[in-house]
């Protein structure tokens, strides 16, 4: 599993609709979006959620040995979730986004970390819809409600110093406020019916870990619930 914990675009001049955790708080796209970061950042992934676009062209400006370079990345959007860049980029200062759609729900960027996982519980398709049953046994469909996916993953002693550092960076500003994560399940592809997900961990406001006795390694069971 790859997960983007710390969205560095939260500290940028990006439009507020692109930074909102709610995907349906969408940004109307007319012209390329230029985003300047407050500080140079490391980026190896882009999170994209809720858009009618099918293709994105992303220009990423970064500095290397005092020279400003521009990397061009093409992304084919398939579903809400995480998309990896071809290579890691240090000292990123600006991002320009061009797409073939008319709206975007959210864009995120930063260091995606890889966690080895085992599936602790079979993935589920769930609904909040609550139908009613009459005294004569008839069913009346529930009003409202939505459908979502949920999956539980166990990271047995796979969380090390790098991962804990990313959690600390994001906890106060994003994780504790309920911001969903962008996820990519490449390693779990043979065991899960979906590749990407935009989801909360159901206990992310109160993170706790099981620690190793003799090594700086931690374990945690994540239960990811799809968000929109």
Give pLDDT tens digits for 75-104.
Answer: 999 999 999 999 999 999 999 999 999 999
What's the mean pLDDT in 158-186? 89
Domains of the chain are 2-111 (2.60.120.260), 118-226 (no CATH)
Q: Please check the confidence at residue 214 and state whether its pLDDT lies above 70.
A: no
**17 alpha-carbon distance from chain centroid:** 16
Q: What percent of the chain has pLDDT over 70?
A: 97
For the chain, give the mean pLDDT. Answer: 90
pLDDT at site 158: 77
- What does the pLDDT look like over 121-152, one tens digit per residue? 677 888 888 888 888 888 888 777 888 999 98
**Could you tell me which residue, 140 or 199, shows the higher pLDDT?**
199
- Whether 4 shows a pLDDT value over 90: the answer reads yes
């Amino acid at each position: 599993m790859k997960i983007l914990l710390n969205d560095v675009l939260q500290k940028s001049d990006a439009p507020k609709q692109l930074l909102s955790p709610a995907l349906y708080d969408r940004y109307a796209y007319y012209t390329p979006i230029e985003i300047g970061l407050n500080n140079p950042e490391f980026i190896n992934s882009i999170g994209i959620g809720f858009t009618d676009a099918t293709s994105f062209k992303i220009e990423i400006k970064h500095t290397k040995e005092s020279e400003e370079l521009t990397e061009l990345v093409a992304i084919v959007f398939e579903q809400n979730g995480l998309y990896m860049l071809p290579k890691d980029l240090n000292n990123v200062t600006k991002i320009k986004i061009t797409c073939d759609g008319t709206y975007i729900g959210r864009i995120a960027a930063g260091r995606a970390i890889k966690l080895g996982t085992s599936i602790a519980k079979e993935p589920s398709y769930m609904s909040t819809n609550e139908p009613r049953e009459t005294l004569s046994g008839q069913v009346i469909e529930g009003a409202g409600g939505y459908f979502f996916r949920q999956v539980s993953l166990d990271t047995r002693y796979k969380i090390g110093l790098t991962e804990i550092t990313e959690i600390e960076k994001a906890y106060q500003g994003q994780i504790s406020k309920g911001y969903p994560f962008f996820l990519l399940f490449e390693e779990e592809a043979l065991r899960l019916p979906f590749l990407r997900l935009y989801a909360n961990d159901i206990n992310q406001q109160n993170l706790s870990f099981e620690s190793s006795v003799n090594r700086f390694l931690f374990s945690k069971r994540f239960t990811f619930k799809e968000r929109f």
